[in-house]
Structure formats: structure tokens, C-alpha cells
Structure 1
Amino acid sequence: MQITLLCVGKLKEDFLRLAQREYLKRLQSYARLEVVETREEALPPSGEKGAVEAVLKKEGEHLLQRIPDNGYVIALDREGVMLSSEEFAGFLQNLRLQGQSKLYFVIGGSAGLAGTVLARASMRLSFSRFTFPHQLMRIILLEQLYRAFKIIRGEKYHR
């Protein structure tokens, strides 16, 4: 299985980069995993709706350019479906059994994801009703992917 994390923006903190490196190392034996970072547009200080929409549109275009037609897109969205770790593992296993070999998890920037990206998504996934910083969300997703593969293989993982 080829999994790509499409992320708006770069990780700015050393501790987040270290966590990402650790989970990418752990995931090597379970799937081919790649992190692709796209440019994060500057949000206007005023937060005007039209200006925010323009930022989302630009970021969305950059993300969509990196998704092939046959890619299965999972958009991280606070309004999406919530799954337990076991359900998430089952979901990934079902995708694999259905022949979905190219998964694209999309994490938006500070303003979220453009409607065009959400419309392209095969699934909208939520990890919580809380809002998390998009950089931290990347680490949470990597941890849940690692946990899911451990569950799928019936391997022990701390609770």
C-alpha cells in the first residue's frame, strides 16, 4: 500500500520533525509512506471571508495537482466521520482488500481545506470535534496509521 500525506505547510518545530521521523521509521515495514508538503499561503490579518476563501482556493489547487485520478482521497475534516482505532484499522484493511493501493490523506492549513478538496475526497475523516493545529494533526495521523497497522497484523501496541 502506498500512503501519501499531503500537508499544507512545513513542520516548524524540531520536536514535531523528530516525531514525524520516528513514525515514518516505524511505518516502513507496513506501507510505503511519503509526506508531501505544499506551500501554506499567508492568511490576511483581517480574516476577511473573501480573502480566506482565496487562500483556501490557492492551497486547494496545490493539493489537487498532486492527486492522481486513481488516488483514494481521505480529507481530514473536523466535520468528517469519527472512527475508533479498531474501526480505522478495519477501514484500511477493507480498502486494501478492495484493491485501493494509493491512499492520499490530506491535511489543510490554518484555514482548513478548500471545498474543491473536500469534494474530491472519497472520505472525510475526523479525529475529534476539537480543532488541532495542522502540524500536530500530521503526527496524530501518523500515530494512528502505525496503530492501525499493528492492529491489522495482530501485533501488541501499548494502550
Structure 2
Amino acid sequence: MKITLLTVGKTEDAYLKDGIEKYVKRLKHYTKLELIDMPELKNTKALTQEQQKSKEAELIMKKVQPLDFLVLLDEKGAELTSTQFAAYIDKRQIGSTSHIIFVVGGPYGFDASVYQRANDKLSLSRMTFSHQMVRLFFVEQLYRAYTILKGEPYHHS
């Protein structure tokens, strides 16, 4: 199964880039992972929040194919423990999912059209994190999920 993390904007802080790279490298042993950073919208001062979400939705939907399993990383999503997330990934692998796309939206969340297309919503926390940090948290949790599935000693219950 191929996994894509689709985000709006780039990671600029070196310490976050280093951390992301560390886990992306580790994940190569378990799955095919692609990170796609879509460019942030420009000249947004003249746009309402809804217009920004609509424009971001257009960018997101260009990356999604009809058979892709689309998961929004959203504050309204289900909260899972690391073990539950591992089971979630395992279920997708065992099922017929060939490509799962996890999406981090822009600063105002997702447009209604993206919610309609989504297959699922997950929340990394009830807290709010910067979009840059979410990338690191997600790839670490993905790595943790695979080590749980393989029975490796990274995760301690």
C-alpha cells in the first residue's frame, strides 16, 4: 500500500525537517511513503476564509484519484491511540486499499467538497499544532504504527 501525506505549505524549520527526514527514512523499510507539499495560496488578504478553503480544495482534489482512500487529519476526526492507529493502518493494508492519502488542510480547515470526498477523518489531538509540526507528529506515529504491527520494540504499552 502506498501512503501519501498531502499538506498545504512547506516545512521551513531545520529541526522539523531533520525529524521528518529521520522517520521518512525509517519508514522505507515498511511502506512506500510520499510527502507532497502544495504551495500556500498567495494574495489571500482579498479572499474570505471560505474562498481560501475553496481554492485549497481545488489543489487537494487535483492530487486525489477516484480509488484513493482519503483521510483528513482534522480536529473533528476520531482520536486513536497509537495501537488503534496501527490497527487502522493494518485494516487498510489487508483490505483493498492500494493508496491512502492523509491530508493536512490550510489554516481554516477544509472546504465542504473535501469533507464530502473524504473516506475518513482522524484527529492527532484535541490541541492545535502548527502545520509544520503536524508533519513530524504524523510520520512519527506512522513509523510507530508499523513497529507495533511488526512487534518491534519501539512502542511501549
Picking from 61, 64, 70, the partner of 2:61 is 64
Q: 1:7-156, aligned counterparts within 5 Å?
A: 7-42=7-42, 43-44=44-45, 51-156=48-153
Give the TM-score normalised by the residue count of structure 2: 0.93
2: CA distance, partners of 1:69 / 1:61: 15
1: CA distance, partners of 2:121 / 2:45: 27
Please give the per-residue CA displacement for 1:115-154, whole angstroms capped at 9, x wherever unaligned: 2112211110001111111111111110000000000011
Amino acid at match of 2:131: H
Name the count of aligned residue pairs.
Answer: 155
**Is the CA contact (8 Å cut-off) linking 1:39 and 1:59 kept in structure 2?**
no
2: CA distance, partners of 1:137 / 1:7: 9
**Identity, % of aligned pairs?**
37
2: CA distance, partners of 1:113 / 1:130: 17
Cα drift, residue 44 of structure 1? 2.7
Please state if 1:157 is matched with 2:154.
Answer: yes
1: CA distance, partners of 2:20 / 2:124: 18
Aligned Cα root-mean-square deviation (Å): 1.4
Give the TM-score normalised by the residue count of structure 1: 0.92
Please give the per-residue CA displacement for 1:81-105, whole angstroms capped at 9, x wherever unaligned: 0111001100110111112120100
2: CA distance, partners of 1:125 / 1:89: 13
**Is the CA contact (8 Å cut-off) linking 1:64 and 1:117 kept in structure 2?**
yes
2: CA distance, partners of 1:85 / 1:120: 25
Residue segments in structure 2 that go unaligned for 5+ positions in a row: none
